[in-house]
Structure 1
Amino acid sequence: MRIAAACLILAAALPLPLPAQDQVPADRAEIGLSFAPVVKSAAPAVVNIYASRIVAQRRSPFAADPFFSQFFDFGQTVPRVQNSLGSGVILGADGIVVSNFHVVGGAEDIRVVLADRREFEGRVILADEAADLAVIRLDGAENLPALDLADSDLVEVGDLVLAIGNPFGIGQTVTSGIVSGLARAGGDMGRGRGYFIQTDAAINPGNSGGALVDTAGRLLGINTSILTRSGGSNGIGFAIPSNLVAQYVAQAEAGAARFARPWSGIEVQPVDAGMAEALGLNAPGGVMIRQIHPESPFAKAGLGAGDVVISIDGHPVDGPQELDYRLATLGPGGTAAVRYWRDGGEAEAELALDPAPKNAGADELRINLGTPLDGLGVASLGPALIERLGLPLSAEGVVVTEVAGRARRTQLQPGDVLIAVNGRPIREPADLATVAALPTRLWQIEFLRGGRRAVIRLSGG
């Protein structure tokens, strides 16, 4: 009895349990309780995108072969509808959505479904395959939920992030993780030649174009790719930083038809330990200018081959993709401070953020003379074409800009630099027009592709 009485007295002394309460985390330490407030804030601005495009499918696998196509007629291609599924992020209450180029690029029909199941027709108003970004305008949209942009330059490895998208088409899904790396660039890490934020938040097929958000529900990046050998998420995903996204949105809203970025006019290589020691640098860093175009803004700022670019606008530059990224986020117009290393010391110059100049000789010429070259567009090489086609700075001569009509038989591609046709040198577009007008049944086209010399032979008058 004494034990029972003691238990009663002890129970009476203990406080009664309090009912559970819903509470928004007050700081980063409390975020471990739940991500629900962040999801409720950000998820309505993440959309599902259904896009369809018509692609040409060849009847025979040998139809695209440059050898067999000379001797056999494989007939015309068959149109086929190709569907794609991805995600997007609303960044403007008036219907501005950002996604990946590989989700909506070339699409003829775009349907955007919001988290609340509302649907809108969309159209691409600005797209860039190199950066794998596209800006979409939703028809008839207003007062939509939109995400604020975070400053992606302030993100640090270890920061908590959420990835929101539509993986595998199963519906809107949220995964969590951390920023596991910064300044990841190109190669096997993703499409294009981009510069990425790396995360271990699961990103799977269908997540492309979705949001990578911070713990305040702001957009840190657009999820674009995964590094995988199995086809699923292996814990390494990549997102395009929000500062670059902001520049694309700004240009799209200003009515730009093509994304404009400042031209560097230089070819660079990262500085490794051996180069740093030879140059007198305390540690590896920066990029050394290997080649510079005479019209480059860097040349006009006083830099030359052998100089090491350390930073642009106060941000370190340690690779070619990082250089392109820094220039792209600044946008064309105005100036930026560039710090560089020369002769054992640092110096600073003012860099003009100008696009690649166009020269008068870059006007395009199209062949239409009743020959196998009909439909071939060519132009003299200038800085603007060199940048657009990704050619070496030293490239000169006549470049292929378009291949259409009968010229498709030649298997030439935009970016090929013509050397000679039927043994006659091609130094300017007029030379090609002259050769194409001469009667002949056999054609021999010499050209450069990717720095390698190649020859195409075909028959036809």
Structure 2
Amino acid sequence: MFRNLCLAALLSLSPIGALAQTAVPASEAEISLSFAPVVKAAAPAVVNIYATRIVEARRSPFADDPFFNQFFEAFGPTEPRIQNSLGSGVIVSADGIVVSNYHVVGQATEIRVVLNDRREYAADVMLADQESDLAVLRLRDAADLPVLELRNSDELEVGDLVLAIGNPFGVGQTVSSGIVSGLARSALQVADGRGYFIQTDAAINPGNSGGALVDVQGRLVGINTAILTQGGGSNGIGFAIPANLVQSIVSQAEAGATRFARPWAGVTGQAMDAALAEGLGLARPDGVLISGLHPKSPFAAAGLQAGDVILSLGGEPTNTPQEVIFRLSALGVGAEAEIVWLRDGEEMRAVMVLAAAPDDPPREQTTVTADVALRGLTVVRINPAVADELRLPMQAEGVAVLQAEDLAARAGFQPGDVILGINGAAVARPSDVEALAGMEARVWVVDLLREGRQVRLRFRF
């Protein structure tokens, strides 16, 4: 009997058995034969992307001197320089909608997309979001293209088999296999913020960015975006942006949006740990403790208060602040979601309506155009929408710099600066900046808050 079982197992793994397999693997035994059917189904929808951007580089008069060049890199006139990037993308619509990473195509002046069958298309950016590191492209004059179906990424489990498909190092389309080795990874610094990722040990290398992470049914579960490495190579720790967030961004792009609108949280919080859980009398350190709450926050409207512990949102657990933001972003503006939280040991529930940050009070946007020291400075009154756009603290108030050009740029102003005072006079409204900009002064002193630090600009006019 034992010999017969061994013989049957050997036959099931023989080349004859592998050749006979033509369908998508549906069991562990079939998967052990080959991933070829999955690759044949998924690979045509994964593309190579070649992006070109023009950047301004300074030509230092000491560029040829190995000693002085290190001190004078920022001196000298600027000159345009062409910068190329290589990456991958995934076709998600037969009429030519492609998803990739922001760091591959963001701010590109020319984008060429090459399909698996060598067809080439020019592409335009429909929507680019630096914070999530995602971008949506439209291929020009494209039709009847192969597509990848998006899977609900919340269904993934650690241990699920996955394939990473992309163009690493520009060598051509390549497939690597692995498993989902972690979920809800949120400590990785990618693009413009801290995201929420699927972790995999499928090899992801430079050029794989924007490529597909697919399951054994050939469905898209994530967009490959980064690796964690100390030596520059793949060490079996790769990260992908979950398909649920991809779907939300694609839906907004298809609706005509050019900027990704996230539901506003209006809360600050921290992940629970054992010490916090013990202090609150909780059996387990689950959830996110709310430390601050804006009065106009949708969480406040749903009945939450500072000190509450958010357990789940939309039926999914939330254990880090990044996970809360991901859940909001994936659900989208206008959606309704059940929220579950703890207060004094009692579990509470409510339905929360997700909305964008309110643009109230009015921005009162003002630009200094007169021939004065602050010429070219555009300022706005801080409200929740402005704070969200400029990534200011939730409690920020007063006047913020929206744009700095001309003399204002030379003086050192930067977008996101919060202006506290000008030449000793307090600033509370944009009109104050416009009025103070006209004062007679040779030396100017401007007090700012920049990334939480107090900064003082001094300049002459």
Task: Determine if the TM-score, normalized by the shorter chain, exceeds 0.5.
Answer: yes
CA positional deviation for 1:360: 4.2
Q: Secondary structure at the match of 2:159?
A: coil
Partner residue, 1:3: none
Partner residue, 2:317: 316
Partner residue, 2:48: 48
Give the aligned CA root-mean-square deviation in angstroms: 2.0
Partner residue, 1:450: 451
Q: Secondary structure at the match of 2:198?
A: strand
Q: Is the 8 A contact 1:191 1:225 kept in 2?
A: no
Partner residue, 2:30: 30
Equivalent pairs counted in the alignment come to: 437
Q: For residues 439 and 275 of structure 2, what CA distance do their matches in structure 1 show?
A: 56
Is the aligned partner of 1:138 residue 2:139?
yes
Partner residue, 1:290: 291
Is the aligned partner of 1:204 residue 2:205?
yes
Q: For residues 431 and 344 of structure 2, what CA distance do their matches in structure 1 show?
A: 46
More displaced stretch, 209-218 vs 253-262? 253-262
Partner residue, 2:306: 305
Partner residue, 2:363: 362
Q: For residues 135 and 175 of structure 1, what CA distance do their matches in structure 2 show?
A: 24
Q: For residues 96 and 209 of structure 2, what CA distance do their matches in structure 1 show?
A: 19
CA positional deviation for 1:255: 0.5
CA deviations over 1:167-200 (Å, ceiling 9, x no partner)? 0011101111111100001444676321000001
Q: For residues 192 and 52 of structure 2, what CA distance do their matches in structure 1 show?
A: 20
Q: For residues 258 and 236 of structure 1, what CA distance do their matches in structure 2 show?
A: 30
Q: Which amino acid aligns with 1:308?
A: V
Greater radius of gyration (CA): 1
Q: Is the 8 A contact 1:101 1:134 kept in 2?
A: yes
Q: Which amino acid aligns with 1:447?
A: L
CA positional deviation for 1:257: 1.8
Is the aligned partner of 1:121 residue 2:119?
no
CA positional deviation for 1:40: 0.4
Q: Is the 8 A contact 1:444 1:458 kept in 2?
A: yes
TM-score (norm: length of structure 2): 0.91
CA positional deviation for 1:410: 2.1
CA positional deviation for 1:438: 1.1
More displaced stretch, 77-86 vs 138-147? 77-86
CA positional deviation for 1:221: 0.2
Q: For residues 191 and 228 of structure 2, what CA distance do their matches in structure 1 show?
A: 7
Partner residue, 2:7: none
CA deviations over 1:7-55 (Å, ceiling 9, x no partner)? xxxxxxxxxx996643134423321111111100000000000001111
Partner residue, 1:459: 460
Q: Secondary structure at the match of 1:362?
A: coil
Q: 1:18 to 1:262 in 2, by over 3 A?
A: closer
Q: For residues 144 and 116 of structure 1, what CA distance do their matches in structure 2 show?
A: 11
Q: Secondary structure at the match of 1:349?
A: strand
Q: 1:18 to 1:300 in 2, by over 3 A?
A: closer
Partner residue, 2:65: none
Q: Is the 8 A contact 2:336 2:354 kept in 1?
A: yes
Q: For residues 267 and 60 of structure 2, what CA distance do their matches in structure 1 show?
A: 43
Q: Is the 8 A contact 1:185 1:195 kept in 2?
A: yes
TM-score (norm: length of structure 1): 0.91
Is the aligned partner of 1:185 residue 2:190?
no
Q: For residues 190 and 318 of structure 1, what CA distance do their matches in structure 2 show?
A: 22
Partner residue, 2:232: 231
Q: For residues 197 and 204 of structure 1, what CA distance do their matches in structure 2 show?
A: 16
CA positional deviation for 1:75: 5.1
Q: Is the 8 A contact 2:58 2:79 kept in 1?
A: yes
Q: For residues 199 and 189 of structure 1, what CA distance do their matches in structure 2 show?
A: 16
Q: For residues 136 and 211 of structure 2, what CA distance do their matches in structure 1 show?
A: 13
Q: Which amino acid aligns with 1:357?
A: P
Q: Which amino acid aligns with 2:273?
A: D
CA deviations over 1:374-422 (Å, ceiling 9, x no partner)? 2111101000011111211111100111112222112222111111111
Is the aligned partner of 1:392 residue 2:393?
yes
Q: 1:303 to 1:448 in 2, by over 3 A?
A: same
Is the aligned partner of 1:99 residue 2:110?
no
Q: Is the 8 A contact 2:133 2:191 kept in 1?
A: no
CA deviations over 1:275-311 (Å, ceiling 9, x no partner)? 1122122200101110111111111111111111111
CA positional deviation for 1:451: 1.2
Q: 1:190 to 1:227 in 2, by over 3 A?
A: farther
CA positional deviation for 1:459: 1.2
Q: Which amino acid aligns with 2:301?
A: K
Partner residue, 1:68: none
Partner residue, 2:90: 89
Q: For residues 43 and 423 of structure 1, what CA distance do their matches in structure 2 show?
A: 63
Q: Is the 8 A contact 1:55 1:82 kept in 2?
A: yes
Q: For residues 161 and 190 of structure 1, what CA distance do their matches in structure 2 show?
A: 24
Q: Is the 8 A contact 2:51 2:104 kept in 1?
A: yes
Q: For residues 154 and 410 of structure 1, what CA distance do their matches in structure 2 show?
A: 52
Partner residue, 2:407: 406
Is the aligned partner of 1:252 residue 2:257?
no
Q: For residues 200 and 237 of structure 1, what CA distance do their matches in structure 2 show?
A: 6
More displaced stretch, 29-38 vs 89-98? 29-38
Q: Secondary structure at the match of 1:246?
A: helix
More displaced stretch, 216-225 vs 333-342? 333-342
Partner residue, 1:7: none
Identity of aligned residues (%): 58
Q: For residues 423 and 218 of structure 1, what CA distance do their matches in structure 2 show?
A: 61
Partner residue, 1:269: 270
More displaced stretch, 137-146 vs 412-421? 412-421
Q: For residues 104 and 18 of structure 1, what CA distance do their matches in structure 2 show?
A: 43
Q: For residues 189 and 86 of structure 1, what CA distance do their matches in structure 2 show?
A: 16
Partner residue, 1:13: none
Q: Is the 8 A contact 2:164 2:213 kept in 1?
A: yes
Is the aligned partner of 1:326 residue 2:327?
yes
Q: 1:301 to 1:238 in 2, by over 3 A?
A: same
Q: For residues 277 and 360 of structure 1, what CA distance do their matches in structure 2 show?
A: 41
Q: Secondary structure at the match of 2:32?
A: helix
Q: Secondary structure at the match of 2:20?
A: coil
Q: Which amino acid aligns with 2:407?
A: R
Partner residue, 1:194: 195
Q: 1:365 to 1:60 in 2, by over 3 A?
A: farther
CA positional deviation for 1:74: 4.5
